[in-house]
Amino acid sequence: MKKLLSLAAILAFAAVAGAADKAKSEWTGYITDTHCASKGANKEHTAGCIEKCMKSGSKAQIWDETEKKAHDLDDFGKVKALVGSKVTVKGTLDPATGTIKVASAEKAKS
């Protein structure tokens, strides 16, 4: 019985560790902000609009097209030059805050 419980514990730990390894680290979509949200996630949205909204308390975000969900970005400076283009942001998502710590950003491949 002890061996069976030990085996079950090892398998459970491996499953959790494997899920952590597969955590999403790349998001593709348009840069927006919490005020404009999904309706601002397009090629017409400007960095000036996002900055204006941020001065009023909004946060920069990426609208992930596959998830149909916005994620806050920790550093607008890393994505500012890409506003208006479809982008791919790489980084890590803080599950507690829903904020992506941006490691890099580039125009998305078509």
CA–CA distance, 50 with 100 (Å, rounded to integer) = 17
Among the listed residues 97, 92, 81, 82, the one whose alpha carbon sits nearest the alpha carbon of residue 26 = 92
pLDDT per residue of the chain (110 residues) written in tens, 0 to 9? 665 545 544 555 544 444 444 588 999 999 999 999 999 999 999 999 999 999 999 999 999 989 999 999 999 999 999 999 999 999 999 999 999 999 999 999 96
**Residue 23: per-residue pLDDT:** 84
**Strand 69-73 vs strand 60-64: parallel, antiparallel, or unpaired?**
antiparallel
CA–CA distance, 62 with 101 (Å, rounded to integer) = 12
Among the listed residues 14, 13, 80, 94, the one whose alpha carbon sits nearest the alpha carbon of residue 45 = 80
Q: pTM (2 decimals)? A: 0.75
Dihedral sign for Cα 33, 38, 39, 44, please.
Answer: positive
Q: Which of 61-70 are b and which e, b meaning 16 or more Cβ less than 10 Å from the residue's Cβ?
A: bbbbeeeeeb
